[in-house]
């Protein structure tokens, strides 16, 4: 499966199975994507690669690396030291975003109050999707 930025200077490849697909409401994702929430997939190292790399890395907090296209600015990925063997890509950057369905909301305590979601998915406080709280 492939993904790319808006201008196409960044391309990447993902091999299934992915480890997770979640909606994230945390302020950092929200600000990086300039969107009220984002949806990302977790991909273990060894199952993804840049096929065209033109990214800039930004450390949004200690131990968290976020990348974006150096030309068009599209947010591409983030990874955290606390899950150092997993890369996260935004589903909206995938060529086929419809095939990835989220199973959980994380950082739900940061959800914007006017964002009205009625999808029946479980919710979790904090960023850790490996330990859902509900
Ligand atoms: Zn680009
Ligand atoms: Zn987030």
Give the pLDDT confidence score for residue 129 in this predicted structure: 87
Give the ligand with the smallest distance to the CA of 107: 2
Residue 60 lies inside a defined structural domain of this protein: yes
Number of structural domains found in the chain: 1
Give the ligand with the smallest distance to the CA of 70: 1
pTM exceeds 0.85, yes or no: yes
Q: How far is the CA of 27 from the centre of ligand 2 (A)?
A: 7
Residue 105 lies inside a defined structural domain of this protein: yes
Q: How far is the CA of 89 from the centre of ligand 1 (A)?
A: 14
Residue 115 lies inside a defined structural domain of this protein: no
Q: How far is the CA of 34 from the centre of ligand 1 (A)?
A: 16
User: Mind listing the pLDDT tens digit for each residue in 104-130?
Assistant: 999 999 999 999 999 999 999 988 888
| DSSP calls for the chain | -EEE-SSSS-EEEE-SPPSEEEEE--HHHHHHHTSS-EEEEEEETTSEEEEE--EEEEEEETTEEEEEETTT--EEEEEEGGGTTEEEEEGGGBS-GGG-----EESGGG--TT----S---B-SSS-TTS---
Q: How far is the CA of 1 from the centre of ligand 2 (A)?
A: 23
pLDDT class of 132 with cuts at 50, 70, 90: low
Residue 50 lies inside a defined structural domain of this protein: yes
Residue 80 lies inside a defined structural domain of this protein: yes
Give the pLDDT confidence score for residue 127 in this predicted structure: 83
Residue 10 lies inside a defined structural domain of this protein: yes
Residue 118 lies inside a defined structural domain of this protein: no
CATH number at residue 67: 2.170.150.70
Q: How far is the CA of 40 from the centre of ligand 2 (A)?
A: 9
Residue 132 lies inside a defined structural domain of this protein: no
Domain assignment of residue 102, given as a range: 2-110
User: Mind listing the pLDDT tens digit for each residue in 61-87?
Assistant: 999 999 999 999 999 999 999 888 999
Give the pLDDT confidence score for residue 84 in this predicted structure: 84
């Amino acid at each position: 499966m492939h993904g790319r930025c808006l201008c196409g200077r960044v391309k990447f490849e993902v091999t299934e199975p992915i480890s997770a697909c979640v909606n994230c409401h945390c302020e950092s994702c929200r600000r990086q994507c300039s969107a009220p929430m984002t949806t990302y997939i977790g991909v273990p190292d060894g199952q993804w690669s840049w096929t065209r790399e033109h990214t800039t890395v930004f450390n949004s907090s200690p131990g968290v690396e976020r990348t974006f296209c150096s030309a068009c600015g599209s947010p591409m990925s983030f990874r955290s030291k606390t899950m150092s063997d997993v890369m996260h890509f935004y589903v909206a950057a995938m060529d086929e975003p419809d095939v990835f369905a989220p199973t959980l909301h994380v950082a739900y305590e940061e959800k914007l109050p006017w964002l009205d979601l009625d999808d029946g998915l479980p919710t979790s406080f904090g960023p850790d999707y490996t330990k859902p709280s509900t």
